[in-house]
Amino acid sequence: ALERTFSIIKPDATRRNLTGKINAKFEEAGLRIVAQKRIHMTKEQAGKFYEVHAERPFYDELCEFMSSAPVVVQVLEGENAIAKNREVMGATNPADAAAGTIRAEFAESVGENSVHGSDAPETAAVEIAYFFSGIELVG
Ligand code: CMP
């Protein structure tokens, strides 16, 4: 089915000018970038986005990192966009990511892993609504 997923190009990637190379991977995989903006989150905004991880030992480090520099937040659309995006990203830990995936090519560590992507339709809807209003979504 035609789906939408939410994506973030993280600070480690924007710092290294990798936005275009990462977007090329999405587009080559058939994902359409239907909304996109560059923002610099506060630590509080990152904290609310990653609230589900609040009890994890890496939570503070994660929120600190995600607010350390600008990110690019995006909505990607395509057939099975959620699974397709996860395939293009590769495993969370770049050491485990398949060759050719974004994390295999660009990620620096499990924390500084270049991209975030929604894991399910329910989380995609919540994450999209956190950053975008309806009028910004131009299919
Ligand atoms: P993401 O998909 O953005 O969702 C939660 C993030 O937590 C995950 O990607 C990783 O970047 C980060 N993360 C997961 N495990 C660790 C860890 N052990 N140390 C630091 N960050 C982590």
80 by DSSP, 3-state: which?
coil
pLDDT value at position 120?
98
pLDDT value at position 38?
98
Is 45 near ligand 1, meaning CB less than 6 Å away?
A: no
Beta bridge partners of 39: 71
- Which distant-in-sequence residues (6+ apart) come within 8 Å of 121 by Cβ? 3, 82
Q: Is 116 a catalytic residue?
A: yes
Per-residue pLDDT of the chain (139 residues; tens, 9 = 90+): 999 999 999 999 999 999 999 999 999 999 999 999 999 999 999 999 999 999 999 999 999 999 999 999 999 999 999 999 999 999 999 999 999 999 999 999 999 999 999 999 999 999 999 999 989 988 7
ipTM summary value: 0.93
Is 68 near ligand 1, meaning CB less than 6 Å away?
A: no
Q: Is the dihedral of CA 22, 59, 137, 3 positive or negative?
A: positive
Position 90: which residue type? G
Q: How open is the CA angle 69-81-138, to the nearest 5 degrees?
A: 70
pLDDT value at position 138?
85
Is 54 near ligand 1, meaning CB less than 6 Å away?
A: no
pTM over 0.95: yes
Per the structure block, which two tokens stand in for 15?
Answer: 């710092």
